[in-house]
Amino acid sequence: MPDIVITEFMDQSAVDDLSARFDVLYSPDLVDQPEELEEALAGARAIIVRNRTQVRHELLDQAPNLQVVGRLGVGLDNINLKVCEQRGATVYPATGANDIAVAEYVVGTAMILARRAYGASTQVINGIWPRQNCVGREIHGQVMGLIGCGSIARETAKRAQALGMSVIAYDPFVKPDDKVWSVIGRIDSLDELLGSADVISLHVPLTDSTRNLIDSDALSKVKEGAILINTARGDIVDEAALIEAMKSGRVGGASIDVFANEPVDEETGQRFADIHNLILTPHIAGVTEQSNVRVSSMIAEVVAKHLGEAK
């Protein structure tokens, strides 16, 4: 039986490094094979997951020897931390390893959505010349509003400021005397941020207090034509309310990388059809070739160190 079970994709060099020292089962599709996963976990001391594997009571019951959970990412809403602690399983997220990837995604899509020109390829190919419809805005001089001001938000702020944007943030959990407020404008309320920002980017975990944080009421308070970017968690945004806000023109553009239910099925996807200035991506903002190496290497190292013994 394997010491380490890896249920979702991981950089191969990190897998090879672990395999040289431990008995490893690596199957990127194991998350979708519950019977095989249960069998693999029977003697496993470690499991390495991304966001789809649900590390909760049922899975933990299948892994009586589990000592460590490695998370290839930073969100922990798919892991029951309390039960892991009770079972003596330490959870390690890849804190900081994908910050740059997410920050570049946010600023890159903000530029695309503000400019409005990059969706015209099909029309130009078909001999249509929609110049008037493609006149957008520069992001220079615009206001980037960050909901949450953790490490990814701070990396996003650096890049936005380098492009001439002003950056403000709302985060009641960051102390007023934190040095970050010397370079980012501190906003005291969510409503104030929503009404002030030209681009709104979400950087909060999914909790009871953030579920549906961006609902129809919140969207009614955004600056008209604002752009919304969600790389955090799908359930933070009420998808139906966002669709309505985009159709009405209240929200001028959106980039959505995370969804309430993933993978998105055809029925859910069709709700977003025929909405202009919209970018939908499959929970990939934090995954680049470079960040995958960093994330995988970090988790391989901490898991190996925790287990502490070779073959």
Residues annotated as catalytic (active site), given as ranges: 233, 262, 283
- Peptide bond connecting 34 to the previous residue in cis, omega within 30 degrees of 0: no
The single residue listed with the structure tokens 């199957």 is 27
Distances (CA, A) of 6 to 29, 44, 151: 9, 10, 27
Phi, psi of 272 (to 5 degrees): -90, 0
Q: Where are the alpha helices (DSSP H) in the chain?
A: 12-19, 34-41, 57-61, 81-87, 99-115, 121-125, 151-162, 190-196, 216-219, 239-248, 266-270, 289-307
- Torsion region of 174: left, alpha or beta (phi above 0 gives left; psi -120 to 50 gives alpha): beta
Q: Which two tokens stand for residue 236?
A: 């933070």
C-alpha–C-alpha distance, residues 293 and 101, integer Å: 12
Neighbours of 82 (CB within 10 A): 8
